[in-house]
Structure 1
Amino acid sequence: MNIAEVSKKYEISADTLRYYERIGLIPEVNRNKSGIRDYTEEDCRWVEFIKCMRSAGLPIEILIEYVTLFQQGNETIEARKDLLIEQRKQLIEKMENVKKTIERLDYKIERYEQSVVTKENELKRTDD
């Protein structure tokens, strides 16, 4: 699969894919005889993984560290697992903060809705 196809499939710009490869976020992609990137299924799994992790807010630096550890082989399994556990913990904390923020927004919205209803009722009484 060429870079345009991968870009379309995963809704990531070709520039972003090149950048991810350049900084080591995804392993180097093989090229065909013409020098055009030729993404394998394995490459696409990396793109999908990185897209998922980035959309969840994981920092690029953490993901580069993960990929580097992965490339070092099985002796880094425990370190990779620990890294993912820490990121999961941080995501859960973010989720809890987002949940609190949503609850506060809901409260504020409800107060404004009550205010509007109260104001409408006051206007109706003055019109009578």
Structure 2
Amino acid sequence: MDARKPEDARQLANELADFLRPAVARIATLRTLSSGKVGVLRHLSVHERASGAELAEAIGVSAQAISLVTKELQGLAYIERQPDESDRRRTWFVLTEQGRDRLAAEIAVSRGWLASVIEERLTAAERAELAAVMPLLDRLVADR
């Protein structure tokens, strides 16, 4: 039995971070787009449109960085700019159909790898234990 005390949040956080680091790194190697670009596409797929400032805040980068990312994504035809109908000074970024397809492909690659690892390395009972933990993990990252 594990000697860890469940109330030791710092130790649990360290263990979770140590687990996630290589998993996230592996997923990054499978993708063809950076995590920032995938973050922009994912945000736009959920929210339909966003300003540059909203995108920068959502993925945690500077306004300068989001400007570069959005220019690159526009160049790839994954997003496009649309003027705000009521305020011509405001511009929205929206996901194109090509962008939606690219996001789906990026997600499929990482989820496919993760599914194969789960299937190969975990027993049915262990997969059930992992499934039981998912609501807890969801609560950790849910917006307050």
Say whether the fold is shared (TM-score over 0.5): no
Determine which structure has more spread, i.e. the larger CA radius of gyration: 1
Higher helix share: 1
Higher strand share: 2
